[in-house]
Amino acid sequence: MNTMDNLEKQLICPICLEMFTKPVVILPCQHNLCRKCANDASNPYLPTRGGSLTSGGRFRCPSCRHEVVLDRHGVYGLQRNLLVENIIDMFKQESIHAHGKARLMDQRKEGMPMCDVHEEEKINIYCVTHGVPTCSMCKVFGAHKDCEVAPITSIYQTKKTELSDGIAMMVGNNDRMQGIISQLEEACRAIEENGRRQKTLVCEKFDLLYSVLEAKKREMSQKVTAEQEEKVNYIRGLTRKYGDHLEESCKMVELGIQTMEEPEMALFLQVRVNTKWAPYKMLAEASSTAHLDKVERGYENMDHYTVDFNKEGKALRSLDFPPG
């Protein structure tokens, strides 16, 4: 089995047993499937040829039996393996080229390429010096007579082995890189999830701080309200007392005026000395406010409830995460 056959064997889908068809998806276990085959394997209403189907968008990789869990995007959430798709394209191009060369060789003598200089001679040796295949006549008499040569079969096998090893190494390296990419994507998802969780915790801490500030605001506002109501009630009570005193004084003034209008002197004097009315004494008492409370200067002032939150504001503005 030659190298192309080996390569073709690596490009066979384990479900449809045909060469991968685009798009090719890569499973979490790093094995590949045709997207259509992966979709069929994840569909509980279709029989599968390779994967062991389970419910809920799950199936087992037909190559290693690893359980594949699909997200809400289904198989469209799986990554495409562009490397395998490119190798398939190159393989198909190489196959076309190989078939073309075979047809050309059939047209040449015994299916072997012939020398351009010595048309009757087969190309059967390899010029190591110039790195080109040539014929025996070119080595004996032609341009390569002084060159180092080797059998073309040994060079062919060596070069083909080197190419096969190189392809295998590239495929292995790309599989490892695909694994690293998957790990990096998982790290991104973990970072996003951790970031969301930490933002939630920060918001909860701030909500707690808000509740403490709201409770303190209510407490301090209640202190101001209590003194405000006490002072307002006192002033209103004092206002009522002064109003009552004013009303009584007005009555005394009216009585005095009526007494002054008395034309009879004897009757006027009789009223004046009557202890029941005693107009002068009553007028003097009515005009006096000595027995009433006086409001002290600045009593209405509430400035002693002024607050200064500069220090607290500075502390709040300096809030930050701890270093490290």
- The pLDDT tens digits of the residues spanning 170-183 come to 988 988 999 999 99
Residue 198: predicted pLDDT: 95
Q: What percent of the chain has pLDDT over 70?
A: 82
CB 29 within 8 A of CB 61: yes
Residue 191: predicted pLDDT: 95
Q: Is the pLDDT of residue 20 over 90?
A: no
This prediction's pTM: 0.43
61, with CB counted inside 10 A (0-12, 13-18, 19+), is buried
Q: Where are the alpha helices (DSSP H) in 30-111?
A: 35-41, 82-107
The strands making up 24-26's β-sheet, listed across from edge to edge, are 32-34, 24-26, 79-80
- Over residues 6-11, the mean pLDDT reads 78
Supply 121's token pair.
Answer: 């001679």
CB 28 within 8 A of CB 59: no
- The pLDDT tens digits of the residues spanning 54-97 come to 334 788 888 888 888 888 888 888 888 888 888 888 888 877 76
CA-based radius of gyration for the chain: 54
296, with CB counted inside 10 A (0-12, 13-18, 19+), is exposed
Q: Is the pLDDT of residue 253 over 90?
A: no
